[in-house]
Amino acid sequence: MYEKILKLIREYETIIIHRHKNPDMDAYGSQLGLKNIIELNFPTKKVYVVGDENNFAFLGAMDVIDDSIYSNALVIVVDVAVAVLVSDDRYKLAKHVLVIDHHLNSSDIADTEFINSDCIACAQIIADIALTEDLIIDKEAATALFGGLATDSGRFLYPNTTAKSFEIAAYLARKGADIQYIYDNLYTESLNFKKLKGYFINNFKTTENKVAYMKNNTSVKDEFGVTTFIVSRAMVNQMSGIEGIEIWANFTMDEDGKVQSELRSKRIPIVDIAKKYGGGGHLLACGCTLSSFEDANLVLADLDQLLKEEIQNG
């Protein structure tokens, strides 16, 4: 399959790389790492990256391009497979759409897709393409891909981290990945960020069967001077690692009145619940977008019931 991906890259002179909205570092790292690899190995290609930006923009800036650039172009969508989550819907203007992803969702946008849910990060797939196909990779690409791998694996703590994940990390380190640069940018926190962590620790609630959860309206991000992404994705794991808590959920209202829902589990698969509400992701880490906090109550009821059945079944 890697050869099929490279064949598509060889066929097109213009390549535009998309990823999901509200990007995490795996989305950013996969996108920018892939761009650098293509430019290094196919120097005549015109390669662009597009999408919304956030705190992870220290990895690199997005390009601003005209719609006309999409004519006869190959679009590669990384770290997402479904239309509703893709940042910048101009991917529809391209001649061919290639999806490279590691989530459990089937694609509804791809002309060609490569989905490997055994990989802890999309960055792991991109790096493995370079490793397997003996492509040139430099420090910049290696750094971006290491950032994606390190964050989506929870610094190599999450259950789907495998020997292959460590092999890829070692490969990227040998290629010059600036690991300290990634960690310095990830784990140096503002005072407001620290205070927000305390707010979560002091205010989360639990359901009858000990599903931990938070519901955050827009005043939370305003009070702490952070983005919706920070309140939602960056704070969900403040409820992890607590004795007796097997499942936790974070519901955050965004600027459009939608509720961004992040669902996590220590060991019980929960992705089918995310899919029930139009979302998806991984077995133990997934999410969905809801219309209201009333819908969040329905998700919580399903998670609570799942945990109740698990307790009853021993």
- The predicted pLDDT at position 158 comes to 87
Q: What is the tally of structural domains in the chain?
A: 2
Taking the C-alpha atoms of residue 28 and residue 262, their distance in angstroms, rounded to an integer, is: 19
- The amino acid at 21: K
Clarify whether residues 227 and 300 are in a common domain.
yes
**Which residues share a beta bridge with 285?**
264
Same domain membership, residue 198 and residue 146: no
- CB–CB of 60/19 below 8 Å? no
User: Same structural domain for residues 128 and 68?
Assistant: yes
Cα-trace Rg, the chain: 20
- Sequence-ordered list of residues with C-beta below 8 angstroms from that of 100, at least 6 positions apart, any chain: 5, 30, 34, 76, 77, 78, 79, 113, 114, 115, 122, 125, 126
Question: Does residue 214 share a domain with residue 170?
Answer: no
Q: Based on the domain organization, do 200 and 168 belong to the same domain?
A: no
Q: Are 12 and 72 in contact (CB under 8 A)?
A: yes
Q: Is the dihedral of CA 174, 176, 177, 178 positive or negative?
A: positive
**Amino acid 180: pLDDT:** 96
Range of the domain at 241: 193-312
- Amino acid at residue number 161: T
Residue 163 exposed, middle or buried by CB count within 10 Å (0-12, 13-18, 19+): exposed
Decide: helix, strand or coil at residue 141: helix
For residues 119 and 245, membership in a common domain is answered with no
Residues 99 and 160 in one domain: yes
* Listed residues 145, 163, 186: the one ending a domain: 186
How many C-alpha atoms does 200 have within 13 Å on its Cβ side? 29
Residues 16 and 147 in one domain: yes
Q: How far apart (Å, rounded) are the C-alpha atoms in residues 253 and 234?
A: 14
- Report the alpha-carbon distance of residue 274 to residue 86 in Å, rounded: 17
Write the CATH number for 211.
3.10.310.30
Q: Residue 113 forms beta bridges with which residues? A: 99
pTM for the whole structure: 0.83
Q: What is the CATH number of the domain that holds 30?
A: 3.90.1640.10
Do 138 and 208 have their domain in common?
A: no
Cα–Cα distance, 160 to 258 (Å, whole number): 30
Domain boundary among 141, 158, 186: 186
Which pLDDT score, from 0 to 100, does residue 313 have? 84
Residues 9 and 138 in one domain: yes
Instruction: Please list, residue by residue across 255-290, b when 16 or more beta carbons sit within 10 angstroms of its beta carbon and e when fewer do.
Output: eeeebbbbbbbeeeebbebbeebebbbbbbbbbbbb
Cα torsion at 6, 8, 12, 17 (round to 10°)? -80
Considering 152, 186, 220, which residue would you say is the last residue of a domain? 186
**Are 235 and 103 in the same domain?**
no
Determine the pLDDT at residue 55: 83
Question: Judging by beta carbons within 10 Å of its beta carbon (0-12, 13-18, 19+), is residue 159 exposed, middle or buried?
Answer: middle
Residues 152 and 285 in one domain: no
Closest CA to 275 of 283, 267, 25, 45: 283
Dist. CA 235–CA 261, nearest whole Å: 12
Which pairing describes strands 14-18 and 46-49: parallel, antiparallel, or unpaired?
parallel
User: How far is residue 238's CA from residue 242's CA, in Å, rounded to a whole number?
Assistant: 9
**Sequential pLDDT tens for the chain (314 residues):** 899 999 999 999 999 999 999 899 999 999 999 999 999 999 999 999 999 998 888 999 999 999 999 999 999 999 999 999 999 999 999 999 999 999 988 899 999 999 999 999 999 999 999 999 999 999 999 999 999 999 999 899 888 899 999 999 999 999 999 999 999 998 888 899 999 999 999 999 999 999 999 999 999 999 999 999 999 999 999 999 999 999 999 999 999 999 999 999 999 999 999 999 999 888 999 999 999 999 999 999 999 999 999 888 86
Longest dimension (CA), the chain: 61
* Residues 6+ positions from 154 with CB-CB distance below 8 Å: 161, 237
Q: Cite the beta strand spans of 1-84 per DSSP E.
A: 14-18, 46-49, 74-78
The token duo for 90 is 């101009």
